Amino acid sequence: MIPHDILTLYTAKAVEYIFALSFLFLFIPFWKYAMGEAHPALQPAMQPARQKIADRVPDLVEWFRLARDVAYHPGHAWARAAGDGRVTVGLDDFAQKLVGPMKAIELPPVGTRLAAGEPAWRLRVDGKAVDMISPVDGVVTEVNPAVLASTDVARHDPYGEGWLLKLDAPRFEANRRGLLTGKLARTWLEEATNALRLRMAPDLGLALQDGGMPVDGIAHALDEEHWDEVAREFLLS
């Protein structure tokens, strides 16, 4: 053991101070490194739970509700990852307001394989049917019995209780790149609303362009005869 005479004691103290100071200096970059994120944009499913709850409360873009915690397909279907390879999908507020009160939503049975961009479920309104397309690839593991019982739930809470299907979607990470989130989703919905505005005729009788709320079933209001074609145009089906 090295004896603790005065000189070695001072050296030891000096070394200790140097270590203490270098710890403090190195701690800052280390903290920043450990607390930072390598690819924050790629990992929206990893947000803390509190943020998730805040995200469930939808924003209002023009006349339509827009949930922040889901990714949107341009065909107005949304997808939300549960983090374990399972994804919940549904239709957005725009879609349900476009077609109006539905008689039924025909959902594919459990076990059906869905492909992104292909028809997935069917909205039945007034004896006509409009298909909607799947936002992701996957196999149906669960259908929402509440929606089968009454379509009202999908109209009142399209991003929550009104979900349509749960899928086992191993390719979700790849699918996600084709979906819209955050600012992009906002801009896209604004543009869709503008496109809707352009279709409006002055004699429509709706106060849409004055900022009034649209009635349920906008497509009906736009073209009573061929409303289903209008709806298909917007829903890309």
- The DSSP code for 132 is E
Q: How many CB atoms lie within 10 A of CB 78?
A: 27
For the window 165-204, what string marks contact with other proteins as x by the rule CB under 8 A? ----------------------------------------
| Residue (45 or 115) nearer to other proteins, CB | 45
Size of the site for other proteins (CB under 8 A): 31
Q: Which member of 4, 7, 109, 224 binds other proteins (CB under 8 A)?
A: 4
CA atoms within 13 A on the CB side of 199: 18
Strand-pairing partners, residue 166, are: 88, 142
Q: Which member of 10, 25, 30, 57 binds other proteins (CB under 8 A)?
A: 30
Residue 146's alpha-carbon distances to 102, 138, 143, 203, 205, in angstroms, are 14, 22, 9, 38, 35
Q: Which member of 10, 12, 113, 118 binds other proteins (CB under 8 A)?
A: 12
| Residue (8 or 209) nearer to other proteins, CB | 8
Q: Which member of 7, 28, 35, 41 binds other proteins (CB under 8 A)?
A: 35
CA angle 200, 206, 212 (to 5 degrees): 105
- Measuring CA to CA, which residue among 186, 173, 188, 91 is closest to residue 136? 173
Task: By CB under 8 A, name the binding residues for other proteins.
Answer: 1-2, 4, 8, 12, 15-16, 19-20, 22-23, 27, 30-31, 33-39, 43, 45-50, 82-84
